Amino acid sequence: MADIDDAAYDDDPNYIAKSNSFAFKTQLSNRLKDFWEQRLNLVWLNVKRRYRDDPDSKDPLDAYDDWYYGNNKKIDWQNNFFISDMDTITGGFEYEEERGAHRNVNRRTVNNKALYIQNQLTLWEKSFTTLGIRVDDNQSFGSDINYKLSSSYLFERINTRLKSNFGTGFKAPSLFQLYDPTYGNSCLTPDESLSYDLALEKNFTENVLVGAGYFHNLFKNMVDYDFDTNRYRNIGKAKTAGSELNFSITPFKKNKIDCAYTRTNTRNNSTGKELARRPKDRFSLNIDWDLFKNLKITSSLNYFGHRWDNTSNTEKMKPYARIDLSAGYKVTENFDIFCTIENLLNKKYEEVRGYATAGFSFFAGVKKTF
């Protein structure tokens, strides 16, 4: 439960938001034959939100009582066929269902069924190639076919690996994006994409890895939030492109440091403007420590640079950085406990202009495998 703002820069002392969420994920695996492995992945997500604003001395005529319910479940039946040491074929079936209800909107349900198959070929332990195809059948938007091709090759003399990816994508709008009374747009169509990337990775020693890459993504009917109309809409055509640099070092046996920098350029081809809330510069630093036999601690620093707050590119957001900390302890072979601290230094920053974000936050949980 939390006290929330009435709008940007407008505090309401008794506007309360209460949110309950439940997440469950499990995986069952079975090796029927030496060449055939089955995996069944199950995911269940449940969210309930309640918003209440009673009249007060500041806003005697302002009253609000609303609620939202959402449920997502996914079943993925994956089959791996090990044809040889060089060839693995993966095929399966995926079913995903989304349900949602709002105080002013009747309960709605939509499902998506998909078949997929891919072939991963390894040659001379240096060359890896994966070719895959996926067919989606969406209850609301019909069928769509997408492809993916990935490859990598190791140049042993210079200890450098060249990697590349090419693929197409399909993403249907969510029930919230379609039917929310305030922000939804029932005229939305699916987001289609084409993406490719190219990267080099070089090991200078066993403990030092340096990489650099370029990526390019093209979108058609991209679903995005329009900050001028305060509703979701389709962007005719858009693109994101940029470069990445990464560095990894293992100074000690139980210590690893990873850092990465990404420079991203975006463009809405319909307006010529940059896409909102996509930072041009991002930097991350992660440090892993295996302190004891069963204890692992990870600290991370994430920096987000300047970005536009609106689609018209007139309001620029300030950069910010956040430090997080997580720890995991393996009690037994099949039982783990973990905790996470987000915003360790209680940093004040805004992801959306005029709306504060959570300060120091602590989470804990357990993980059981069978």
Parse the chain into domains and list their residue ranges: 1-172, 187-370
- Is the distance from CB of 361 to CB of 332 less than 8 angstroms? no
Q: Which alpha helices (H) appear in the chain, and where do they start and end?
A: 175-179
Class of domain 1-172: mainly beta
Give the model's pLDDT for residue 2: 47
CA distances from 306 to 245, 311, 323, 355 (A): 19, 14, 18, 17
Between CA 306 and CA 310 the distance in angstroms is: 13
Listing DSSP states for 249-264 in one string gives: EEEETTEEEEEEEEEE
Nearest CA-CA partner of 17 in 47, 56, 60, 44: 47
What are 95's strand-pairing partners? 75, 113
Residues of the chain with confidence (pLDDT) below 70: 1-14, 56-64, 370
Give the model's pLDDT for residue 58: 65
User: What 3-state DSSP class applies to 158?
Assistant: helix
Which letter does DSSP use for residue 156 in this model?
G
Q: Do domains 1-172 and 187-370 have the same CATH topology?
A: yes
pLDDT, tens digit, for every residue of 66-124?
Answer: 788 889 999 999 999 999 989 999 999 999 999 988 877 778 999 999 999 999 999 88
- Is the distance from CB of 243 to CB of 265 less than 8 angstroms? no
Nearest CA-CA partner of 264 in 216, 222, 205: 216
- Is the distance from CB of 174 to CB of 151 less than 8 angstroms? no
Between CA 338 and CA 363 the distance in angstroms is: 8
Radius of gyration of the chain (CA): 24
Give the model's pLDDT for residue 297: 94
Give the model's pLDDT for residue 62: 66
User: What is 187-370's CATH superfamily?
Assistant: TonB-dependent receptor, beta-barrel domain (2.40.170.20)
3-state helix, strand, coil in the chain (%, to 5): 0, 70, 25
- Copy the structure tokens of residue 255: 């210590």
Give the model's pLDDT for residue 352: 79
Which letter does DSSP use for residue 360 in this model?
S
What are 191's strand-pairing partners? 171
